[in-house]
Structure 1
Amino acid sequence: MKQPILLLTLLLSTIVGYSQEIKFLEYSYSEFFRLIQEEQDSVFVFENAIVTFNPATDEEFKGFFKQRDSIFQSESFPEKVVDKEIQLQNVIFKSRIIESQKYKGEKVTVTEGAFIHFHFLKAVSLVDVYAFNCFNSKFENSFYYENKEICSTDQSLIAGISNSNYFASNEFKNAFFRFNCESENIIVFNNKFDIDNNNRRFSLNFIVNNNRLTSFGKNRINGSRLVYLSQNNCQWVDFRDNNFNTTTQISISNMHGLNRLIVKSNTFEKPVIFDIDKFYPVKYSVEWKQFDNELIADMGLGPYLAKIAYEKNIQFNPFDDQYLKQYIDSIRIADEDAYTGEMGFRGFFYNHYKSIFDNENANAVYVNLKNLETKRLAYLYKNNPTFDTFFTWKINQFLKVFSAYGTKPSRAIIFSLYVILIFALFYLFFPNSWDSHGKHRIIHRYSFFLKYLRRNQGIHEVYLEEKQPELLGYEHFRQMIEESEYEVPRFFRATALPLYKWSLSGTKLTAAVLSRVDVMKGTWQEVPPAHRWWKGLLLIGAFLMALAWDVIIKILNALMLSINTFTTLGFGEIPIKGLPRYLAIVQGFIGWFMLTIFSVSLISQLLN
């Protein structure tokens, strides 16, 4: 027993002694770059060193910016081209980011100890590198950055240095980032990432563990392979304004401390595989509309992949574009486990938005959830065609079209207006009790003007002749008043005569106006040829105005009939006959359906 303990003690003492023997050599940034230039080998290997900013010699490694994507320097330095493969391990960069500094009368942020305007032609590998900042640089081959054991570095070496990493306005090819050590800030801003079509599972990795602030913003990612963004055990994560034209997987877990998450205003041109362990109200801002191109729930895709790997022992790339399209279009609808996971994940989003009273995003999630449900119902009907499954499926489709599943009552109103206008067009060609002249209205108008042009009478006289049947009734009423002068109380005579005069006032006023605007004296044949052109022009204009009035009245009658039929679920108060009677029944049925949908949708929104 003593022998193993002795061996273990010797081994530990050897390891401790070895770690204590590591000596860190110190260089300035300009000296570090000179070492790269003087390296004769095609690979520059650099380990166990400290690179410190020297104000006297390192002006080329100092920058100023008012915004992260617009860094500038005290003078225009030439681009630094590096044609060697770079391998750094266990290197501490003593860099600083100083905010609110004065430079030429302006308030700026100063970065001391940054790689600015570098051009790396070959692969760059940084392992256990502390506080690396890079701006306006280009990485032609590949970029690998991983922190594994830098946390165990002697604290006296990094005293007063913030373990922050800034990458802004760079161009990367096949980049890999893994931050495993606790750090302050990781800022990746306004970079361009180009991805080769290689055989790796993830073509761009951005993995962060144990970090205070992660900001990944305004980056452009181009390629044909999967992008993997993972944040674990972080306090503040901010993903916004990025453009992804690749399939993207985002994983958020174990948020703590400040516990703030922002994922918004990103553009995803291909599907997004999303995984988040929980939502915290208020502190999380995850915008739904950025996932328009299809959101895949890891809690749906993951169990399905595990199941087929176990049951069928199939080896394939599940993140291939063609397979993901198949998963979106059919697998997650047909497979119960995948469907349950997808619906449950959307339920998390829906409940989160409702808890923070974000009805706009909540409604958008609900519509997406119901669309998936409708596809599932269509699949169930196809495999088990019953009236129950058919009816449920069609009701969902109907609600989708006419009210967006109850989230937009206005859509029901819009469709109702279309129905009213379409049926009004049919009613326009059929008379009803409101339209007493019906299709003869225009014929009567022609008859009136033809009679006026052929007779030696004024237009007001022709008008009064047309009104004669109506005027006879008023005349009989007047005679009755006069004959009963001494047979009835004076009250009736005193009130009846004004009523008689008021009834005739409209006709008399119209006749008076017509007599004043009458341009003809006698028949059309008696009009001198020199006056015919302008009188004819006036008469045609008057006729067209009267005709337009008749058409407007006819349209209004048809529209009122359609509104009456739609809202009263049938004929209402306007009797109709013939074909329109059957059309009214159909319109009444549609009105009943649409008004019901509108009422339910409106009540649902009011309750929300």
Structure 2
Amino acid sequence: MIRTIKIGVICIVLCLISLPKLAAQEIKLKEYSFTEFFQMIEEEEDSVFRLSNAFLKFNKETDQKFILTFELNKPFNLKSANEDSIRIDKALELTNIVIESFATATPEFLLFGLGKVVFSKPVQCTNCINFMVTQSTFNSTITFKYNRQIRDLALILPPILPPSLYICSSNFQSGLVISSGSTQVFSQFNSVTDKRSLHLTSFENVISANKEKKERVAILGSVFQTILFNKNVVEGSANLTISSEPAETQNESNGRLFGLEINENEFNVPITNLRFDDQNTDLVTMKGNRWSGLILTSISELDRINTLIDGASLSEKLIDEETYKGYILPRLDEMQLRQADFYSQKDLDNYRQKQMIEDVNFYNSEVALRGLFKNYFDSRHDATSANQFYIEIKDLETRRLAYLYHQNPTFDGFFKWRINQFLKLFSAYGTEPAKAVTFSVYVIIAFAFIYLFFPNHWDSHGKDRILHRYQFFFKYLNKDAGMHDVYLEDKQDELAHYNGFKNFFIENGKTVPKFFLATALPLYRWSIASTKTTSWFLQKIDIFKGKWVDLPTPQRAVKTTLLIFTFVIALLYDVFIKMLNALMLSINTFTTLGFGEIPIKGLPRYLAIIQGFIGWFMLTIFSVSLISQLLN
């Protein structure tokens, strides 16, 4: 009995192994050259050209213009050898078409494909392998579909070059759809080790689509082993879908996606549906993209070593797709479901501005999605991107705290809400300590401006200093004495004090050790050095002595100009000293609250207490933010 079962199992396995070869033998492809292919299209009398089960083979005598060449400075970028554009005014329906795309029989490596072709009508390609198109224009929608027969067609090809769909430097004016007609395409066939799996490469194309015209932009990758979607421009009012999900149902498997690259593209569309199963994809790269609209995504994990994503392009763009469906679907009955625009701007705005904040389940899902990206960037030691998503999480938290407070006003709720707002403004939730320093400088300058108009102990002269300047110049202009004489007159009390000190130790120095007299005289000279130096300088620059009114008119004009200039310089110096005192007072109050003493009077005395509290609070947060960043 056991032996019979073993024999039966072996027979079944052998049958399964031979199935691909048998299926491949059932498909017979008729050969055409590239030139013959376009001649058949031109000779077709119907408005639609249909072709099935064909192999387009390069003919070196007639198909020279279908040679594609590389540009060495632009990897993967192809240029057509065709000088003039080929225009096709018929709709195309191509099924089971295999195109010869390369030749290695000669020392040269040649590629063949469609270059500089203008397709005026819709193009539908079902199971088209090695479809290479460059520098072409599609004025209507082009659709690539794949079903199970793609496997049989791929087995026909020699395993030198994997079957591909390659689109480069082309313009799609009415959308682009790449999809599979069955979720079971490539079941147990599209694997990493199977080099005959389909590859998608899209470089430097412009893809446009209009929602009103029902045009679509969709790239569904369940049939592909690799998807390279780089340096394209996608624009229009229709939504874009890029998917690498292996199957629509959990009990069907389409194999693994070996690589997914979405790099340096411009997505100028309202919504991009970005779906990929990270657990079923070996390499995921999304870098350098620019998204003008929102990104609806459903991602399970990102913390594997072969996932490379930049955070700057995704920040403030993400919406959890499954959560959004949970919001939109219950609101639609069966009739509405058939005609619904799931991603209308009204519904998206309502979800983002209201529902994702008010509904705790939606809120938790959106926070979890951003937490997934934050943890990913933390694991990559990309602090900048991790901080961006942390700030997004805290922004959502702040909005929810505001909602909860308005639902149930309490002091605790109000404090949590406002403290989050303050932390966002002051230090971006602790992620930017430098921002805290900048904000502190603003506070110090604002309070210094207030202190400038009030007297304080540090600025003992205050406005009297400026009044003294006026008094000094009035005396000088109305006296015959020089400027240095007026200056010494004002310093008479100070000089008398020092002279009395000098006379005292000279008179009494004879009865004390000479050491004291020898050191006291230099001290006296140092004490009056500043006054003497200033007096000497004023004497040298005073070129017109005497009363101002007695001077000749030319000398009076010169003296007036010089004195006004000197007065302005002195006045600016006084103002600078006053501003400096106000600034130092503000810094001192902000950092230490005046060492226990508040050196100011009047209303600013109470403002100083408030500033001291603000400074204590801000410096504490700054310290915590700085330590947090250092630890990270």
TM-score (norm 2): 0.87
Aligned to 1:107: none
Query: Shift in Å at residue 330 of structure 1?
Result: 0.9
Aligned to 1:234: 257
Q: CA, structure 1 residues 111+142, in 2 after alignment: closer, same or farther (shift >3 Å)? A: farther
Superposed, 1:261-340 pairs within 5 Å as 261-292=284-315, 294-305=317-328, 316-340=340-364
Q: CA, structure 1 residues 359+199, in 2 after alignment: closer, same or farther (shift >3 Å)? A: same
Q: CA RMSD in A?
A: 2.9
Give the partner amino acid of 2:164: S
Aligned to 2:414: 390
Question: Residues 544-563 of structure 1, C-alpha deviation per residue, up to 9 Å, x if partnerless?
Answer: 11111111111111111111
Aligned to 1:130: 129
- Greater mean deviation of Cα atoms: 353-362 or 269-278: 269-278
Aligned to 1:6: none
Q: How far, CA to CA, are the matches of 1:111 and 1:581 in structure 2?
A: 85
Query: Shift in Å at residue 292 of structure 1?
Result: 4.3
Q: How far, CA to CA, are the matches of 1:381 and 1:574 in structure 2?
A: 38
Q: How far, CA to CA, are the matches of 1:16 and 1:591 in structure 2?
A: 80
Aligned to 1:40: 45
Give the partner amino acid of 1:358: D
Q: How far, CA to CA, are the matches of 2:601 and 2:453 in structure 1?
A: 12
2:283 is matched with which residue: 253, 257, 260?
A: 260
Q: How far, CA to CA, are the matches of 1:568 and 1:311 in structure 2?
A: 69
Q: How far, CA to CA, are the matches of 2:65 and 2:566 in structure 1?
A: 87
Aligned to 2:209: 195
Q: How far, CA to CA, are the matches of 1:86 and 1:313 in structure 2?
A: 34
Q: CA, structure 1 residues 606+161, in 2 after alignment: closer, same or farther (shift >3 Å)? A: closer
Q: CA, structure 1 residues 493+210, in 2 after alignment: closer, same or farther (shift >3 Å)? A: farther
Aligned residues: 587
Aligned to 2:251: none
Q: How far, CA to CA, are the matches of 1:121 and 1:349 in structure 2?
A: 43
Superposed, 1:297-446 pairs within 5 Å as 297-305=320-328, 316-446=340-470
Q: CA, structure 1 residues 488+463, in 2 after alignment: closer, same or farther (shift >3 Å)? A: same
Q: How far, CA to CA, are the matches of 2:514 and 2:335 in structure 1?
A: 106
- Greater mean deviation of Cα atoms: 524-533 or 123-132: 524-533
Helix, strand or coil: the match of 2:544? Answer: coil
Q: CA, structure 1 residues 574+465, in 2 after alignment: closer, same or farther (shift >3 Å)? A: farther
Query: Shift in Å at residue 249 of structure 1?
Result: 0.7
1:590 is matched with which residue: 614, 618, 621?
A: 614
- The list of structure 1 runs, each at least 4 consecutive aligned residues, that deviate by more than 6 angstroms after superposition, is 12-19, 309-315
Q: CA, structure 1 residues 111+430, in 2 after alignment: closer, same or farther (shift >3 Å)? A: farther
1:69–1:190 contact (8 Å) kept in structure 2: no
Q: CA, structure 1 residues 349+191, in 2 after alignment: closer, same or farther (shift >3 Å)? A: same
2:20–2:155 contact (8 Å) kept in structure 1: no
Q: How far, CA to CA, are the matches of 1:198 and 1:456 in structure 2?
A: 94
Give the partner amino acid of 2:244: Q
Superposed, 1:521-536 pairs within 5 Å as 521-536=545-560
TM-score (norm 1): 0.90
Query: Shift in Å at residue 607 of structure 1?
Result: 1.0
Aligned to 1:83: 89
Question: Residues 195-254 of structure 1, C-alpha deviation per residue, up to 9 Å, x if partnerless?
Answer: 132586x82110112544321122122222221100243222211222222211101114
Aligned to 1:225: 238
Query: Shift in Å at residue 14 of structure 1?
Result: 13
Q: How far, CA to CA, are the matches of 2:81 and 2:429 in structure 1?
A: 60
Q: Is residue 171 from structure 1 mapped to residue 171 from structure 2 by the alignment? A: yes
- Greater mean deviation of Cα atoms: 88-97 or 479-488: 479-488
Q: How far, CA to CA, are the matches of 1:190 and 1:111 in structure 2?
A: 21
Q: Is residue 113 from structure 1 mapped to residue 112 from structure 2 by the alignment? A: yes
2:505–2:517 contact (8 Å) kept in structure 1: yes
Query: Shift in Å at residue 491 of structure 1?
Result: 2.7
Helix, strand or coil: the match of 1:448? Answer: helix
Superposed, 1:449-464 pairs within 5 Å as 449-464=473-488
Helix, strand or coil: the match of 2:222? Answer: strand
Helix, strand or coil: the match of 2:455? Answer: coil
Give the partner amino acid of 1:530: P
Q: Is residue 472 from structure 1 mapped to residue 485 from structure 2 by the alignment? A: no
Superposed, 1:538-553 pairs within 5 Å as 538-553=562-577
Q: CA, structure 1 residues 356+174, in 2 after alignment: closer, same or farther (shift >3 Å)? A: same
Query: Shift in Å at residue 308 of structure 1?
Result: 5.4
Aligned to 2:35: 30
Helix, strand or coil: the match of 1:290? Answer: coil
Q: CA, structure 1 residues 22+525, in 2 after alignment: closer, same or farther (shift >3 Å)? A: closer
Query: Shift in Å at residue 255 of structure 1?
Result: 5.1
Q: Is residue 215 from structure 1 mapped to residue 228 from structure 2 by the alignment? A: yes
Q: How far, CA to CA, are the matches of 2:461 and 2:262 in structure 1?
A: 69
1:184–1:211 contact (8 Å) kept in structure 2: yes
Helix, strand or coil: the match of 1:519? Answer: coil
2:520 is matched with which residue: 486, 496, 518?
A: 496
- Greater mean deviation of Cα atoms: 352-361 or 266-275: 266-275
Query: Shift in Å at residue 154 of structure 1?
Result: 7.0
Query: Shift in Å at residue 348 of structure 1?
Result: 0.7
Q: CA, structure 1 residues 269+21, in 2 after alignment: closer, same or farther (shift >3 Å)? A: closer
Give the partner amino acid of 2:41: I
Aligned to 2:217: 204
Q: CA, structure 1 residues 83+314, in 2 after alignment: closer, same or farther (shift >3 Å)? A: closer
Q: CA, structure 1 residues 604+101, in 2 after alignment: closer, same or farther (shift >3 Å)? A: farther
Q: CA, structure 1 residues 583+450, in 2 after alignment: closer, same or farther (shift >3 Å)? A: same
1:268–1:293 contact (8 Å) kept in structure 2: no
Helix, strand or coil: the match of 2:441? Answer: helix
Q: How far, CA to CA, are the matches of 1:177 and 1:32 in structure 2?
A: 23
Q: CA, structure 1 residues 456+133, in 2 after alignment: closer, same or farther (shift >3 Å)? A: same
Q: CA, structure 1 residues 18+482, in 2 after alignment: closer, same or farther (shift >3 Å)? A: closer
- Greater mean deviation of Cα atoms: 277-286 or 506-515: 277-286
Q: CA, structure 1 residues 199+574, in 2 after alignment: closer, same or farther (shift >3 Å)? A: same
Give the partner amino acid of 1:231: S
1:275–1:299 contact (8 Å) kept in structure 2: yes
Structure 2 residues not aligned, in runs of 5+: 1-11, 191-196, 246-255
Helix, strand or coil: the match of 1:405? Answer: coil
Superposed, 1:60-99 pairs within 5 Å as 60-66=65-71, 67=74, 71-74=78-81, 76=83, 78-96=84-102
Q: How far, CA to CA, are the matches of 1:171 and 1:306 in structure 2?
A: 35
Q: How far, CA to CA, are the matches of 1:196 and 1:283 in structure 2?
A: 35
Aligned to 1:558: 582
1:374–1:393 contact (8 Å) kept in structure 2: yes
